[in-house]
Amino acid sequence: MNFRYFLLILLSTFFLYVLWLPKQTLIRKAFVLCFVAGMLVFALNPDLSTEIANYFGIVRGVDFLFYLSHLTLFFIAFVYYLRFREMEIRFTKLARQVAIDQAMNLDLRSPD
């Protein structure tokens, strides 16, 4: 039971933190808030997760949350992969432009 209160405090704090974060975009903020709010609901009413799990053919609510967190983590990893790829492409273009701008004619340099 103590752990449940601890979880509630932790999630509530995170909820408020995200709510007041100034630099987050609206969609990202909404996503995180929905996620945290969902976790809060499940922490307050554990039977709800079992009901939803049963609806999807899963026996235990905790298993349902386990699968859900895996999907969420996969989604987050995918989003970060996309962002990494975009940055990689931008960085490559920058390095390419610098290389082209600073191209050297080596026969003009002193021979060995």
Partner 1 sequence: MGTNQTIDSRVFVIVRAYNEATVIRDVLRQLCERFDRIVVIDDGSTDTTAVCLNGLKVILLRHCVNLGAGAALQTGLTYAVSHGADWILTFDADAQHRVEDALAILKLLQSGNCDVVFGSRFLGTTINIPKTRKVLLLVARWFSNRMFDTRLTDAHNGLRGFNRKAAALLDLTQNGMAYASEMLRQLKEGNMIIREIPVTIEYTDYSRRKGQSSLNAVNILIDLIMGRLMR
Give CA–CA dist 112/104, Å, rounded.
16
**Judged by CB under 8 A, does residue 71 bind partner 1?**
no
| R_g (Cα) of the chain, nearest Å | 24
CB atoms within 10 A of CB 11: 20
Select from 20-28, 33-41, 61-69, 85-93 the region that touches partner 1 (CB under 8 A).
85-93
Query: What is the CA 57 to chain-centroid distance, rounded?
Result: 27
**Judged by CB under 8 A, does residue 76 bind partner 1?**
no
Q: Which is nearer to partner 1, 1 or 103 (CB)?
A: 103
Binding residue count for partner 1, defined by CB under 8 A: 21
Helix (H) or strand (E) holding 24: none
**Judged by CB under 8 A, does residue 111 bind partner 1?**
yes
Residues in the chain: 112
Q: Which of 30, 76, 82, 87 binds partner 1 (CB under 8 A)?
A: 82
**Judged by CB under 8 A, does residue 103 bind partner 1?**
yes
| CB neighbour list of residue 6: distance below 8 Å, 6 or more residues apart | none
Select from 3-11, 17-25, 43-51, 93-101 the region that touches partner 1 (CB under 8 A).
93-101
